[in-house]
Amino acid sequence: MKWLILILLVACAKEVPPPEKIIVVHATSTLRVNFSTEKFIDGDTGQNQDVQVTNNAVSEMTLAPFINPDPFTSTSSTTFMDLGNIAISDLFDNDLWVCGGKCSNAGIRLSMLNQPGLVNSNDANDLIPVHYDTNLLGMAPVVAQTISIGVFKFNVRLSDFTPAPDYLLKLDLSKAGSGLFSGTVVVEYFLSN
């Protein structure tokens, strides 16, 4: 009899599709590369008064000054060159209920604006690819870091990301022609379920 019930339960089970993934970009910074709390107190009598505090939603991200270890001119056209480090110097978000409920993850992602690399001012078809780690930065974002947001956590801070967000970008000069190259790196802080 036990086996019959088990077989019936297995036969009746349905596959439930996974919930749709929600991603909300909360802060965006771009880097152009050329080679409050309010308190309300009701009433003015001397009796006990209710105090209502409204904490405004805040989502902030600040990029540190761009650090370039090498000059932007290069004599080698067959190697990777360090473009520099992009670091986030400040991040705070207390608006975590934007994923159809409370968001369970936060992250940083990188991409390029308008073209997948730095473009030559003389020839728009001549691009220098930009790499982060082993990833090629294109117009589609590359996730650099993610963290989980605990059930009893109600804000995200820069210190929650370990190691601190600091991303070394490299240029692939192996196929680039001569000229002045430029582009815009996009850094996004996002929340997801």
pLDDT at 45 exceeding the cut of 60 = no
pLDDT at 175: 80
Report yes or no on whether pTM surpasses 0.75: no
- Band of the pLDDT at 52, cuts 50, 70, 90? low
The 10s digit of each residue's pLDDT in 92-113 is 999 999 999 999 999 999 998 8
Buried/exposed code over 37-51 (b: 16+ C-beta within 10 A; e: otherwise):
eeeeeeeeeeeeeee
d(CA 116, CA 128): 8
- Band of the pLDDT at 152, cuts 50, 70, 90? very high
* 187 in Cβ contact with 110 (< 8 Å): yes
The 10s digit of each residue's pLDDT in 3-12 is 333 333 333 4
Environment class of 96 (CB within 10 Å of its CB; exposed 0-12, middle 13-18, buried 19+): buried
Average pLDDT, the chain: 76
Radius of gyration of the chain (CA): 24
- Band of the pLDDT at 51, cuts 50, 70, 90? low
Most confident of 67-71, 95-99, 124-128: 95-99
Contacts of 190 (CB under 8 A, 6+ apart): 23, 24, 25, 26, 106, 107, 108, 109
* 190 in Cβ contact with 106 (< 8 Å): yes
